Amino acid sequence: MNIFLRELKANFKSLLVWGGIIILLIVIAMAKYSAYADNPQLLAVLDSMPPALLDAFNLKAFNLTTLSGFFGVMFTYFALMGGIAAAMWGSDIISKEERDKTVEFALTLPVTRNQVITSKALAALVNSIAFVLITWVASLAAASYYHPNIAFYNFLALEMQAMFVIELIFLAIGLLLGCAMKQYKRAGSTAVSIILATYFLSIISGMNKKLDLLKYFTPFKYFDAGKLFRTGHMDLTYLLLSAIIIVVAMAGAYLTYNRRDLYI
């Protein structure tokens, strides 16, 4: 409990920074939307662009001139931000003890390594939940100006759930990297590299039908905003796949951290 509370406090500033960034992103995006809203000329401009480019930025599935369409495109950025933040929190919360050399204090207290991982993982989880809530509330506040209908609210709720699952996946991967990596200094940058790699994989897999198989390797494809919009729910197969990734990564985190030497 004491580790959990200390970590919450230690990571609060980071949450504020990330929260500030996402709010800023939403504010800027909404400023742009004011130009798109109910503007048929924009649709003509988009139609003239190459289809591959539209695919890459998920612009084909949505009508940018509607609020739901606009937030459908925004989902990519929410997912990316959530993924990066969660992965950083996950890897950093473990590896910082070695980086800051506090491991000789923190791990010679009468605690098991499992207790340490669990408390820290929970603290990072709270941050991830808070980050989704900030995004949600900021989106609601920003959208309220356009008096959206109930369909928009439902779609936004679904997007936030999907964002949360993506956060969980990358939180687990971040924790695994923090626990397992010998070069603890690189745990954070490796986590971000994985996110960017999977993100570009999701773009590539969308551009060409032959590369369709790649979609299983990138969590950003698990919850495609277009599909969420059309079906109104998250795909069960991908939810299951997400759960498997999370469980395997967490099991790996506990296993490796218990077995390895701590670096001092």
Partner 1 sequence: MNVIEVDHLTKYYGKARGIIDVSFQVEAGEIFGFIGPNGAGKSTTIRLLLSLIYPTSGSAKIFGRDCIKYGPALRQEIGYLPSEVFYYEHMKVIDLLKYSASFYKKDCTQRLHELAEIMELNLNRRIEDLSYGNKKKVGIVQGLLHSPRLLFLDEPTAGLDPLIQRKFFNLIREENQRGVTVFFSSHILGEVQRLCNRVGIIKEGRIIEISDIRTLQQNNYKKVRIAANGIDVADFNIEGVSKLESNHDGVRFFFKGDINTIVRKISQIDLVDVSIEEPTLEEIFMHYYE
Site residues for partner 1 per CB under 8 A: 2, 6, 10, 100-105, 107-112, 115, 259-262, 264
Q: How far is the CB of 128 from partner 1 (least distance, A)?
A: 22
225, 72 Cβ separation under 8 angstroms: yes
Q: How far is the CB of 259 from partner 1 (least distance, A)?
A: 8
Q: How far is the CB of 114 from partner 1 (least distance, A)?
A: 9
Helix (H, G, I), strand (E, B) or coil at 182: coil
Chain-centroid distance, C-alpha 53: 23
In 3D space, the residue among 62, 79, 86, 78 whose CA is nearest the CA of residue 29 turns out to be 78
Compare residues 47 and 261 and give the one whose CB is closer to partner 1.
261
Chain-centroid distance, C-alpha 201: 15
175, 251 Cβ separation under 8 angstroms: no
Compare residues 105 and 153 and give the one whose CB is closer to partner 1.
105
Compare residues 101 and 185 and give the one whose CB is closer to partner 1.
101
Compare residues 103 and 245 and give the one whose CB is closer to partner 1.
103
Compare residues 92 and 167 and give the one whose CB is closer to partner 1.
92
Whole-angstrom Cα distance, residue 176 to residue 178? 5
Phi, psi (5° rounding) for residue 43? -60, -40
Q: Is 33 exposed, middle or buried (0-12, 13-18, 19+ CB in 10 A)?
A: buried
Compare residues 10 and 240 and give the one whose CB is closer to partner 1.
10
79, 166 Cβ separation under 8 angstroms: yes
Q: How far is the CB of 97 from partner 1 (least distance, A)?
A: 9
Q: How far is the CB of 172 from partner 1 (least distance, A)?
A: 24
DSSP state of 262: P
- State the amino acid at position 191 in one-letter form: A
Q: How far is the CB of 145 from partner 1 (least distance, A)?
A: 39
136, 162 Cβ separation under 8 angstroms: no
Q: How far is the CB of 110 from partner 1 (least distance, A)?
A: 4
Whole-angstrom Cα distance, residue 8 to residue 12? 6
Compare residues 50 and 110 and give the one whose CB is closer to partner 1.
110
